[in-house]
Amino acid sequence: MGSRPLAGVYAAALTPLKADFTPDIEILPEFLGFLADRDCHGALLMGTTGEGPSFSLRERTEIWQSACQVHHVHPDFHLLAGTGTPSLQETTALTRTAFNLGFDGAVILPPYYFRSATQEGLFRWFSEVIRKAVPSSKNILCYHIPQLTGVTLSIDLLMRLRDAFPDRCVGIKDSSGDPKFAKTLGEKLSSDFVVLTGNDKLFSTALESGASGCITASANLISPCLRKIWDSYEQGSQEIETQSWVRELRTKIDNFRSPPALYKFLLSHYFNFPRWPVRPPLLPLPQELEQKAISEIIINPELR
């Protein structure tokens, strides 16, 4: 694995649910084992794809406790926890819980309800979480997805957090999809900051700009391809053809609404997992779009 902490290919893991929308914690370790067997270095639990903001503190804790069972078979599989909420106290409590359970890192959204927060206010918010919840031996990644949160994490803010907490605030998950921002991250931060892209289409570009890996929804389905791109880059070469295929596939996926519902449908169709529902307010993939999804989003046989 890369020399930087948390480098590699991570799945933004789906959350298995029962018909009544409660977490199916019994099947979760099996699903994470599936991701480990398909070349993921680890997984993010309770991120955007995992519908994290839809779950209570108790539910998230139960999900994380169940996830830890993957280590019985895959001891080196890294677990990251999505702990961000608009509440400083709840985010602190969730982050502390994740580390107490043995998670390798926390991926923390900014307080997304407060869209007018200043960069100074965000620095103070993240600082409080880090001081109160993050042991010196553990790592957090700031989660940048302004198209959903309405909150932008500036380069200056990230540099300030890195300088203030160099042993704890070690990186960023960048899901902005902005090539210019990715390039600037690489130029100003990648030498001592872990940058994990959240956009499959930009994976090679991000690696070339200094990124350390990815955390993506598509890794639930095509992690061997993403690992091939990462391994090749680590060895000093490029996987142009594979990246081109990934880019085309992700473009087709982006044409559908409700990504968690689409990914859950495709995971069931191609890999025989149960057809997990999504929790309201998200809606399942409409039946009229199921055949369209199967005909357009084709997972190559060698990936199945």
The answer to whether position 251 is within a domain reads: no
The answer to whether position 229 is within a domain reads: yes
The answer to whether position 214 is within a domain reads: yes
pLDDT tens digit at each of 304 positions of the chain:
445 789 999 999 999 999 999 999 999 999 999 999 999 999 999 999 999 999 999 999 999 999 999 999 999 999 999 999 999 999 999 999 999 999 999 999 999 999 999 999 999 999 999 999 999 989 999 999 999 999 999 999 999 999 999 999 999 999 999 989 988 888 888 788 999 999 999 999 999 999 999 999 999 999 999 999 999 999 999 999 999 999 999 999 999 988 999 999 999 999 999 999 999 999 999 999 999 999 999 997 666 5
Active-site entry in 113, 118, 251, 252: 113
Amino acid at 227: R
Active site residue 113: yes
Q: Residue 260, preceding bond cis, omega within 30 degrees?
A: no
How many domains in the chain?
A: 1
Question: Which residues neighbour 143 within 8 Å (Cβ) at sequence distance 6 or greater?
Answer: 47, 82, 84, 107, 108, 109, 110, 172, 173, 175
The answer to whether position 134 is within a domain reads: yes
Active-site entry in 10, 143, 233, 263: 143
- Predicted pLDDT of residue 191: 81
Helix (H, G, I), strand (E, B) or coil at 158: helix
Active-site entry in 49, 61, 92, 173: 173
Active site residue 85: no
Active site residue 270: no
Active site residue 10: no
Handedness of CA 265, 271, 276, 281 (dihedral sign): negative
Handedness of CA 199, 192, 172, 226 (dihedral sign): positive
The answer to whether position 257 is within a domain reads: no
* C-alpha 55 chain-centroid distance: 16
The answer to whether position 78 is within a domain reads: yes
Token look-up 């993240």 returns 126
Q: Identify the CATH number of the domain in which residue 118 sits.
A: 3.20.20.70
Token look-up 């890195």 returns 162
The answer to whether position 286 is within a domain reads: no
Question: Which residues neighbour 225 within 8 Å (Cβ) at sequence distance 6 or greater?
Answer: 242, 245, 246, 303
Show the domain range for 213: 8-238
pTM summary value? 0.96
The answer to whether position 292 is within a domain reads: no
